[in-house]
Structure 1
Amino acid sequence: MRRKLGFVSVGIMLLTTLAVVQTPARAGAAAAGTPSASATVAEARATIHGRVSTDADSAASAGNAYWTPERMRAARPAPMPDGVDTFDGEAADRPGRVGAARDVATPTPPRSSATGVRAAVGGGSQGTQAVNASPGVGRVFFTHNDEDFFCSGGTINNPQANMVSTAGHCVHPGDGGSVWHDNWAYAPEYTEGEALHGLWFAKEFTSVEGWVDWGYLWWDFAFVTMHPRKGDRLVHVTGGQGLSVNKSKSLSAMLLGYPGEDPYDGLSQYYAQGTTKAAGVQRIKLKDCPLNHGASGGPFLRAWDNALRFGYVNSVMSYKYSGNMYGPYFDDDVLDIYNVAKNKQ
């Protein structure tokens, strides 16, 4: 279903979280559609074993039966899309709608602090820092072409307390097809291979035609609304990140996710941080970022609060090129998509 709308130095530490999917064939080609066509909302109901996930109880029963601890550990990091620094057609397809800089959602902690705070236990390639794992970041699991993959994602403090932000390629292959990823599950604060806060199952995907139909990397983002779990809503259990739009493309950012290629194992949460830079027309990048496949979909967080363990999602990890991590710039195009998704039950 689609609806039209008007997409330094780096430290790295082991924390306590996931990965990415397949290469879009046309991300670097000249845009064939109009900007308004690419900005059209693309939506789909989530499925488990190819069947629409209609209610929380049946989703939990089927999803938990599928995602055993052994299957979660065996899932492989989804490959990041191929990319470059500058794309032909980007300015024509997504010239951008940059309005007033604002925070459209604010961070909130969990309603209960029953679980302890897990700190970083690894060392960085260029200096070290104590960074706490965020319960508002998790590992995403899904099935595509009968293979199990993992990505990363972050909770968003939306009105229904049920939203996860991630990369577009973590919900759809970006090939123009009608098949979205199957068996989509989220394990917040996945740590040492354990789902500390249980598994949560997707109810509906909200992305944009620029990604789903064309695989354009400047549109590589999505929001996923989740079923309740045992009567609880996701953000109430884990807390949620804020969401910012139209902010400077050059600012201090914390990146959190679950890289799964050597030297990482994808079993716990890692971070990278530094100052973002403008990339192309409507993308940003973090230079010399060591995170790799499996981290895609994890958030670029501005105004990170290490005591609260939350910040404001300002982009999501999409792909790497020449050692730099890229993500779509969050402007009013992204805000429109968020506004479609934010009140979904």
Structure 2
Amino acid sequence: MKPTVYALIGAALIAPSAFAAPQVQTQGQKIVTPEATIITVPRNAARSVYWTPERLRQATPMPAPKMSENDVYYFKNAKQQTRWNTTSQTIEPVFPNAPLSGGKQQGVPTAANMAIMPYSTAGKLFFVNSRGEAYSCSAQFVGNTRTLLTAAHCIVDNVSGMAFSNFEFRQNYPNNNGQQGIQSYCLGINPAWVNRSHNMAFNVDYGFMRTTSESRGGALGLQSNVPYPNLTALGYPGNFGFGETMQTVDGTKGDISNNTVRMDNNPMTFGASGGAWTTSNYAVGVNSHISSAFPTSQFSPLFDSAAMDVYNRMAQYCPM
């Protein structure tokens, strides 16, 4: 099916015939296919001027979305999925010249060693939301050294469909060795993420970003259907390390329901959104949302064939 291309002003979708002189600085396109929505983000040299050391420190860690009572009820009572018995789709990791990580104590976040995989691939994602407020999430390179994985709620407003702006990725923050931040010029989400409702579609809360510069620490692989019982999560949670140091925690796969997965013994919350769940240097999920019914757990969308389709459409419509 031929994709539909819309003019995009300030990341707000309008019909091409309604295009008028913009009153904002950013322009781009939105490409809509059945599998993915691709949003181009104009390259903005001024963003590095905007992200002063003070603004980086003052950016608010993105609150972790919370499941509603209905969401919790459905998750607890719906028939559990057994996708781990299904063949997984796999994209291989890109290894830097660094050793692989070892084990840790389950359920206790600790500072990550950013010199080794999987942490060398990751960093802190800064952005400005549609209200002009500076926030931060977590992200990491996956599949290749020019594609980031994060949570959809860190890049696109699910109600308006507006992409956030002034994206700045700082790999291995705060240890960036004086390097400039990495800019993104193209975003990819599942079309179901924008639902014009305040109820987030948690089962598709993943997004990909094409970057202008390459990773300095390799890239994770990408694997569907969470085929492993033991998981390692990473991110920049405000409740551990004050959001200023990358944290890592070992946990276990819990139930899978309604195309969402629970990771037990993962107590990271605000700011950790978008940080990967990994095993053997494959990303198999992301920190997406939390529930008061499971206070030491995080939830992720299930990476299925639809998630892989979004990744592949990024490769098609956002050439490196």
TM-score category (smaller protein): 0.7 to 0.9
Q: Secondary structure of 1:200's match?
A: coil
Question: Does the 8 A contact of 1:218 with 1:283 survive in 2?
Answer: yes
Q: Secondary structure of 1:185's match?
A: strand
Q: Structure 1, residues 56-114: CA drift from partner, whole Å, max 9, x if none? A: xxx3x3111011111000101111212143548x98xx9x9x9632322223216xx7x
Question: Which residue does the alignment assign to 2:174?
Answer: 191
Q: Structure 1, residues 141-188: CA drift from partner, whole Å, max 9, x if none? A: 000111000000010133xx310000000001211x242101011111
Question: Does the 8 A contact of 2:107 with 2:267 survive in 1?
Answer: no
Q: Structure 1, residues 172-219: CA drift from partner, whole Å, max 9, x if none? A: 1211x2421010111111036x67643001101100121123531011
TM (normalized to structure 2)?
0.75
CA distance in 1, matches of 2:268, 2:109: 15
Evaluate the alpha carbon distance shift between residue 241 and residue 264 of structure 1 in structure 2; reply closer, same or farther with a 3 A threshold: same
Question: Does the 8 A contact of 1:108 with 1:242 survive in 2?
Answer: no
* Count of equivalent residues: 272
Q: Secondary structure of 1:106's match?
A: coil
The one-letter amino acid paired with 1:135 is: S
Question: Which residue does the alignment assign to 1:166?
Answer: 150
Question: Does the 8 A contact of 2:272 with 2:287 survive in 1?
Answer: yes
CA distance in 1, matches of 2:308, 2:163: 22
Question: Does the 8 A contact of 1:43 with 1:204 survive in 2?
Answer: yes
Equivalence map 1:100-139=2 (5 Å): 100-109=87-96, 132-133=113-114, 134-139=119-124
Q: Secondary structure of 2:46's match?
A: helix
Q: 2:49 aligns with which of 65, 68, 79?
A: 65
Evaluate the alpha carbon distance shift between residue 279 and residue 135 of structure 1 in structure 2; reply closer, same or farther with a 3 A threshold: same
Matched, 1:300 2:273: no
Tell me by how many angstroms 1:251 deviates: 1.6
Q: Which contiguous aligned blocks of 4+ residues in structure 1 show a shift greater than 6 angstroms?
A: 127-130
Q: Secondary structure of 1:295's match?
A: coil
Question: Does the 8 A contact of 2:3 with 2:33 survive in 1?
Answer: no
The one-letter amino acid paired with 1:256 is: L
Q: 1:268 aligns with which of 241, 245, 248?
A: 245
TM (normalized to structure 1)?
0.70
Q: 1:329 aligns with which of 298, 302, 318?
A: 302
- Unmatched 5+ stretches in structure 2: 5-31
Evaluate the alpha carbon distance shift between residue 294 and residue 3 of structure 1 in structure 2; reply closer, same or farther with a 3 A threshold: farther
Question: Does the 8 A contact of 1:3 with 1:42 survive in 2?
Answer: no
The one-letter amino acid paired with 1:104 is: I
Evaluate the alpha carbon distance shift between residue 86 and residue 238 of structure 1 in structure 2; reply closer, same or farther with a 3 A threshold: farther
Tell me by how many angstroms 1:341 deviates: 1.1
CA distance in 2, matches of 1:38, 1:85: 31
Q: Secondary structure of 2:156's match?
A: coil
The one-letter amino acid paired with 1:191 is: P
Evaluate the alpha carbon distance shift between residue 130 and residue 320 of structure 1 in structure 2; reply closer, same or farther with a 3 A threshold: closer
Q: Secondary structure of 2:183's match?
A: strand
CA distance in 1, matches of 2:230, 2:34: 28
Structure having greater relative contact order (Cα 8 Å, sep ≥ 6): 1
Evaluate the alpha carbon distance shift between residue 195 and residue 152 of structure 1 in structure 2; reply closer, same or farther with a 3 A threshold: farther
Over aligned residues, Cα RMSD in angstroms? 3.4
